[in-house]
A and B are shown apart, each in its own frame.
Chain A
Amino acid sequence: MNKDPLTPATFHILLALADRDRHGYAILQEVETRTEGALKLSPGTLYSNLKRMLAAGWIVELGSALAPEGEAARRRTYHLTEDGRATAEAELARLERLVGQARGFGLQPRAAS
């Protein structure tokens, strides 16, 4: 279980995989849509994060063993594991705690302009 806060990129990738498996470009689009353009992942950042999450066991690759050469082979799909889901949820919990503490100080979320 990861105790340190996740980077925004990592967190959003986990979120993007929360509802379904996606390949690289789909993750990118999902994150951009969800954050309304605020977070645009570039290929390098995306794949170095994916590599790290793979090593941590938060995601796995769905190999297309029977896929033909060409298009499909170049689009590896990623799937969120139980560990990954737990990590995302732990981060969510951390953020909620943070928000709660802030409200306790009298801060309110300001609407984005």
Chain B
Amino acid sequence: MIGFYRVLLVVLPSAFRAEYGSEMLTLVRDRRQDEPGLVAQLRLAAELIPDLLSTAFREHLEATRRDVNLAVRSFLRSPLDPAIIVLTLALGLGANVALLTALDHVLVRPLPFPDADRLVQLWESAPLRGYREVQPSPGTFRDWEERTRALETLAAHTTTEINLTGGDGPPERLASCREAGRFFTLLAPRPVLGRVLDVGDQAPDATPVVVISEGLWQRRFGGRREVLDATLDLDGEAHRIVGVLPRTFSLPHRETDLWLPLRETAVDWTDRADHFLNVMARLRPGTTLAAAQADLDRVSADLAREFPETNRGSEAFLRPLRDEISGRRGTSLVLSGLAALGVLGIAAANLAGLSAARARRREGELTLRTALGAGREHLIRQLLTENVLLLTAGTALGLLLGAAALPALAHLIPDAFAVDDALRIDGRILGATSILATLTGFLSGWWPAWRITRRTSALALASSDRSGRTRSGHRFYRGIVVLQVAVATILLLGTALLLRGLATLSNVDPGFQSEDVLTLRSTLAGPQADDRVVRQRFYDDVLRRVRALPGVESAGFAGFLPFTMRGIVWPVGRSGDPTSQEAPVPLAVFREVTEGYLETLRIPLLDGRLFDARDEPDALRSAVVSASFARRIWPDVDPLGRQIEFLWPWLEGETWTVVGVVGDIRARALDRDPLPQVYVLHRQTPGLSFHAPRDLAVRSELPPESLAPELRRILGDVAPDQPVSDLRPLQDIVDAETTDRAHQAGLLASFAALAALLAALGVYGSLSLAVARRRRELGIRRAVGASTQDILSRVLRSGLGSTVLGALVGISAGLVLAPLFRHVVFGVPTHDPRALLATGGGALLLGVLASIGPAWRALRVDPVEVLRPE
């Protein structure tokens, strides 16, 4: 009993225990003597133990409160150090919090659909037409539905834009999704109102229905519940609203506002040659990706045998839906994540240095207190309290900064996740941050503190001895500074490369002139859309009026402006020339245009002519091709007058005659290898309403603010029920091509700047310490006549020494790592000399700036004061 109590005394704070521990034990002994007997003993124990625990708790709390007070007062006395520590921690942690959240969404979090890990996306190849990987055709989709054994639910959809007219509000053009198969069974969103679509809605005789987005519901219908069963006029056809989908459902795109069924009758489901569907599916439980692929291969083999004209050599692929959605963002995020960790590492190193310096400065005080009997536990406890306070403040501030930075990263969140959802720091991120913070705090605060108190205890017993022990510590500390500079240099190099890549990309010649061109999109809808004559009348009307506007130089329509459509790449061949089956089929970007378009974009004419009045609807079909196309198809001959064919079954036998050759443009993307282009005139092209021109381009010296209302007016006059969308200068479209990379570079640049700042602080701190430590030596040198230059060169050599070493290490490491991120940098080699030069220069500047303060102080050391007897 007594022994037990004595052992239990350990829960008390050491000071209290030292004071009163033995008395308490005596007391217990006395009471035990007074109350013998087992029952009394048990009663005693039941009384003593809770008393001990509650006393211990109260005393610990009391001690902590005292320590916190002391800590806060010491911070207020010299606020600079604690402020730097808190800020450093906050910046390092904040960056990581933001990135962890983004990374979580792109790589870790499951997609917000049921059994998301079993969701896949399917593609097929069409070697007969030269496609290595292409969207599946309707026929293939039906084949998969009927024949696969490994997939349990299949869904197909295609995205399109639909005109909404009538009702309250102006006509709008809305991003829409037409779904076939079991789209909503697969993704199972819970509607805010009403129901989702099902297979029954795809039946030929089903009532046309539509499901709208929550955004559209609020915007156009004010969130009224009566929206159900209301009718919308979509592309001229009445549709009944049967449901509203929540904002959190953002497949296929965040902007999607309408979901409609893809009717049985709207598509030829035996067509195995038209590739336009997005196909997703869920694997049967327990089926691996490999097994499903094997199953698909089996089906592909069967189809190739049964339908050789379309499917010979065709294969199918499937990939996890998650990978499809995250896409390229994964790599750039990992890059940023590493950068953030680097910043945190530098911050932690700085903190270690600062804490050690602070502790060393208080060495005298701590030594005295140890000598006077303050237990080591007490000192550790106090230093610990200070560090915990700083850590907590830094973490809290860091979380705030991180949360504030999240909107800037919103563009990195894939479409499938609703943005609102993403902009919250959730529990796991908080947990991960706390772990990071604790690790950082431990490495940078507590460990040095622990070592210091051990030293002070030893010092209290021995006489003060400064020399030996500090030298290895000094070397260690310098090593840390070199490491800090190295990490900062790596980040600087990365930034320099990204910026060079950005500059190179911005300088890529798109092949056309984008200044002074205003564009917009407007499509006929409904049954009119399918009539070529009606469409042409619309174009003619609009163009006539637009060209009549003063200040307008030229105007024309095209199917799709550059950079707005990555697809519509068609197989083209020489007419009358039996296309060899083995040769790779030439692919070209196919665009339907009206007269005036090529002139508006100032695409240079190299041979022959552009489209003009000679190209009547029923005359010989004309085509204008790009120079690379002509070179490819007719390498040694003049292409003018020769004929081409598009290798689609529905265009069999139709030929186009080349009347002109123009310069190549980058039609699909600025950073992709350009494919050759073929332009045809709308009024001569049969059918194909999807490719019919919808984008209007107008070249004019008028500023957009004056031209835009005029264009709207003209379109409103010619086609009042047709929405006008995407009214913007062509230059904006071109600039948007560099936006992603600009964001990336900006992100990395901020990290690099942060890292450089922190590393500079590290160099500054280390150099300050060195100067402080060598004051006597410097004073003596001064006294015996060392010049200003001499002192300066000593200090600078010390400071720049670490910097140069760190920079060299950093650049070498960067050169080794850079090839891993090669495809993130555009167009420059990873050892680009300008980038390397800039990086080296930056690192040197860092070192020089950091050395100024300490150098100044070194120069002002007064030899008299230093040499005075201590």
- Give the residue of B23, B28, B58 whose beta carbon is less than 8 angstroms from that of A48: B58
Q: What mask results when residues 18 to 37 of chain A are scored 1 for a CB within 8 Å of chain B, else 0?
A: 00000011001000000000
- B717 within 8 Å of A (CB atoms): no
Known contacts A74-B26, A75-B26; A44 and B51 CB within 8 A of each other: yes
A42 at the binding interface (Cβ < 8 Å): yes
Instruction: For the complex, give the distance between the alpha carbons of A46 and B47 in Å.
Output: 13
Which residues from A are CB-within-8-Å of B52? 42-44
- Is B59 among interface residues, defined by CB-CB distance under 8 A? yes
Q: Name the distance in Å between A32's Cβ and chain B's nearest Cβ.
A: 10
**Complex Cα–Cα for A28 and B51 (A):** 14
In Å, the complex CA distance between A46 and B20 comes to 10
Proximity bits, A41-62, B CB within 8 Å = 1, else 0: 0111111101100000000000
Closest to B54 in A: A44
> Which of B19, B27, B47, B58 interacts with A28 by CB under 8 Å?
B27
Q: B19, A24: Cβ atoms under 8 Å?
A: no
**When the two chains form the complex, which single residue of B19, B30, B56 contacts A44, counting CB atoms closer than 8 Å?**
B56
Given A51-B16, A51-B19: A44 in contact with B24 (beta carbons within 8 A) = yes
| Nearest CB on A from B352, distance (A) | 37
B51, A43: Cβ atoms closer than 8 Å: yes
Nearest to A41 among chain B residues (CB) is: B51
Is B48 located at the chain interface by the 8 A CB criterion? yes
Contact A47 B55, beta carbon cutoff 8 Å: yes
CB of A76 within 8 Å of the partner chain: yes
Residue from A40, A45, A47 within 8 A of B23 (CB atoms): A47
Contact A47 B20 (CB under 8 A): yes
**Interface size range on B against A:** 20 to 34
Asked if B207 CB lies within 8 Å of chain A CBs, one says no
- Interface contact B58-A25, CB-CB below 8 Å: no
Cα of A25 to Cα of B35 in the assembled complex, Å: 14
Complex contact A42–B51 (CB within 8 A): yes
Q: Does B288 contact A (CB under 8 A)?
A: no
Cα of A51 to Cα of B58 in the assembled complex, Å? 12
- Which single residue of chain A is at the shortest CB-CB distance from B16? A51
- Chain B residues 31 to 81 lying within 8 A of chain A, measured CB to CB, are 31, 47-48, 51-52, 54-56, 58-59
Residue B160 at the chain A interface, CB threshold 8 Å: no
Complex Cα distance, B51 from A48, in Å, reads 11
B47 contact set on A, CB distance < 8 A: 40, 42
- Residues of B contacting A40 in the complex (Cβ-Cβ under 8 angstroms): 47
Measured between beta carbons, the chain B residues less than 8 angstroms from A46 are 27
> Which of A28, A42, A48, A51 has the most B CB atoms < 10 Å from its CB?
A42
Q: Which residues of A contact B20 (CB under 8 A)?
A: 47, 50-51
Among B19, B26, B55, point to the contact of A25 (Cβ < 8 A).
B26
Binding site for A on B (CB under 8 A): 16, 19-20, 22-24, 26-28, 30-31, 47-48, 51-52, 54-56, 58-59
Q: List 10 A-B contacts (CB under 8 A).
A: A25-B26, A42-B48, A43-B52, A44-B48, A47-B16, A47-B55, A48-B58, A50-B20, A51-B20, A74-B23
A-B interface, 9 closest residue pairs, ranked by CB to CB distance from nearest: A44-B55, A42-B51, A43-B24, A47-B20, A44-B51, A43-B27, A25-B30, A44-B52, A48-B55
